[in-house]
Every structure is written in structure tokens, then in C-alpha cells.
Amino acid sequence: MPIVTVIGRRPAGGATAATIRAIAEVVGAGLGYEARDVTTFWIEPAEHLEYGLTLAERTDHTHAPVVRIESAPKEQEAVAALLHEVGRVLSEHMHVPTTQPFVSFHPLSFGHFLVEGEVPPPAT
């Protein structure tokens, strides 16, 4: 079962839950799972030490979320396409202008997707 981790500041109001549902639907459909079978986490940059200080500082400064999808090695090609779809979902739900995405794989077949752009401050 795929695991999706979003590292970045949570959107204001109830947008976090809606965004997570939309991401689970996109990833589930893309890999042949039900959305309920996709485990999705949202982590604030300061809460996630695995990525190190540089990434935490970048996401904290730019508000650009980083997405990590864990899946089976045989799903690697499908995950590469899904990273772009997840970026689109984040753009729509968080109003992040999507520019050129950064995608990389490390040996455990995890994908990283960085949506470049500023998330506007929450409306007051």
C-alpha cells in the first residue's frame, strides 16, 4: 500500500483534510488502490528531522510543500507520473503556482516532488 507524506505548512482552515483526501484519491487511482488504502501524512517542516535542516529551512521559508510517495519498486514509473498529479492537487488546494517540478528518486524507490512557489497567507 502506498504511503504519502507531505512536508510543509498546513493550509488554513479545513483545507488540510480536503487536500489529503484529494491526494489519496489521485495516488490510489494512479496505482490501482482505493483512496482509503493510501496512508497520507501531513508534517510541518520543524517536525520532520529525517530530511535535515536544509529542507526544513527551505520549506519553512518558501512554504513550498515537499511530497514523498513510498511504494513498491514495480510502481516506480507510475509514481513518477503521480508526483506531477499530486503537485497539481497541491497547487489547486493551496493556491501554489506550479513551476518546474524537482523530481528525484533515491535507492528505495521513494519519489520527491517539490512544488516551487509561495503559498499565500491565510485569509483573515
Residue ranges of the domains in the chain?
A: 3-114
- Strand pairing class (102-106; 66-70): unpaired
Q: Which ranges of the chain does DSSP label H, i.e. alpha helix?
A: 15-31, 52-62, 76-94
Q: Are 72 and 110 in contact (CB under 8 A)?
A: no
Residue 43: predicted pLDDT: 76
Residue 70, classed as helix, strand or coil, is strand
The sheet with strand 110-114 has its strands ordered as: 39-43, 3-7, 66-70, 110-114, 102-106
Q: For residue 65, what is the DSSP state? A: -
The model's pLDDT over 12-42, given as tens digits with 9 standing for 90+, comes to 666 788 888 998 999 899 889 999 999 888 8
Residue 2: predicted pLDDT: 80
Q: Are 39 and 3 in contact (CB under 8 A)?
A: yes
The model's pLDDT over 1-10, given as tens digits with 9 standing for 90+, comes to 788 877 777 7
Residue 7: predicted pLDDT: 74
Residue 34: predicted pLDDT: 92
Residues 96-107 have a mean pLDDT of: 51
Which amino acid would we find at residue 107? P
Identify the residue with better confidence: 64 or 124: 64
CATH no. for 3-114: 3.30.429
